[in-house]
Structure 1
Amino acid sequence: MSTRHLLDMLLLAALWGASFLFMRVAVPEFGAVPLIAVRVGIAALFLIAVIVIRGQLSELKGKAVPFTVLGLLNSAVPFSLFAYSTLFITAGFAAVLNSTAPLFGALIAFIWFRERLPWLRVLGLFIGFTGVLVLLSGKVSFQPGSGGFAALGALFAAFLYGIAVNYTKHTMTGVRPLVTATGSQITATLMMLPFAIYLWPDNSISVKAWLSVIALGVFCTAIAYLLFFRLLGQIGPTKTIAVTYLIPLFGITWGALFLSEGITLPMIIGGSIILAGVSLATGVISFKAKKLATSER
Structure 2
Amino acid sequence: MKSILGLLLLAAIWGGSFLFIRILVTDLGPILLMELRVLLGALFLCVVGGFLKQQPQLWYYKKHYLTLGCFNSALPFLLFAYAAQTLNASLLAILNSTAPFWGVLIGAIYFKDKMGKVRILGCLLGLLGVITLVWADIDVSTGYSAGTICATLGATLSYAIASHYTKLAPDCGTLNNAQGSLWGSVILIFPLLLLFPYDVTFNADTLWSVLLLGVVCTGAAYILYFKLIATMGAQSALSVTFLIPLFGMLWGYLVLDETLTYYTVVGGLLILLGVGFVTGVFSRVWHSMVVKCVST
TM-score above 0.5: yes
> Which residue does the alignment assign to 1:224?
221
Structure 1 pair 57–276 and aligned structure 2 pair: CA distance change class (3 A): same
From 36, 59, 62, give the equivalent of 2:60: 62
From 128, 131, 139, give the equivalent of 1:130: 128
Q: Secondary structure, in 3 states, of the residue corresponding to 1:273?
A: helix
- Superposed, 1:3-152 pairs within 5 Å as 3-57=1-55, 59-60=57-58, 62-138=60-136, 139=138, 141=140, 143-144=142-143, 146-152=144-150
Tell me, yes or no, if structure 1 residue 160 matches structure 2 residue 158.
Answer: yes
> Which residue does the alignment assign to 1:255?
252
Structure 1 residue ranges, 4+ long, deviating more than 6 angstroms after superposition: none
Cα offset for 1:34?
Answer: 0.8
Cα offset for 1:113?
Answer: 1.2
1:142/1:149 contact within 8 Å kept: no
Root mean square deviation, CA, Å: 1.8
Tell me, yes or no, if structure 1 residue 199 matches structure 2 residue 196.
Answer: yes
Cα offset for 1:109?
Answer: 1.1
2:6/2:228 contact within 8 Å kept: yes
Cα offset for 1:203?
Answer: 4.0
Cα offset for 1:175?
Answer: 2.6
Q: Which runs of 5+ in 1 are unaligned?
A: 292-297
Equivalents in 1 of 2:200, 2:165: separation in Å?
Answer: 39
CA deviation profile, 1:253-290 (whole Å, cap 9, x unmatched):
001101111111111111101111111111111266x8
Matched residue pairs, number? 286
Structure 1 pair 178–160 and aligned structure 2 pair: CA distance change class (3 A): same
Structure 1 pair 171–262 and aligned structure 2 pair: CA distance change class (3 A): same
1:131/1:272 contact within 8 Å kept: yes
Structure 1 pair 200–125 and aligned structure 2 pair: CA distance change class (3 A): same
Cα offset for 1:186?
Answer: 0.5
> Which residue does the alignment assign to 2:241?
244
1:100/1:278 contact within 8 Å kept: yes
> Which residue does the alignment assign to 2:269?
272
Q: Which runs of 5+ in 2 are unaligned?
A: 292-296
Cα offset for 1:233?
Answer: 1.8
- TM normalised by structure 1 equals 0.91
Q: Secondary structure, in 3 states, of the residue corresponding to 2:32?
A: helix
Equivalents in 2 of 1:59, 1:77: separation in Å?
Answer: 23
Equivalents in 2 of 1:165, 1:58: separation in Å?
Answer: 19
Equivalents in 2 of 1:226, 1:82: separation in Å?
Answer: 22
The percentage of aligned residue pairs carrying the same residue is 37
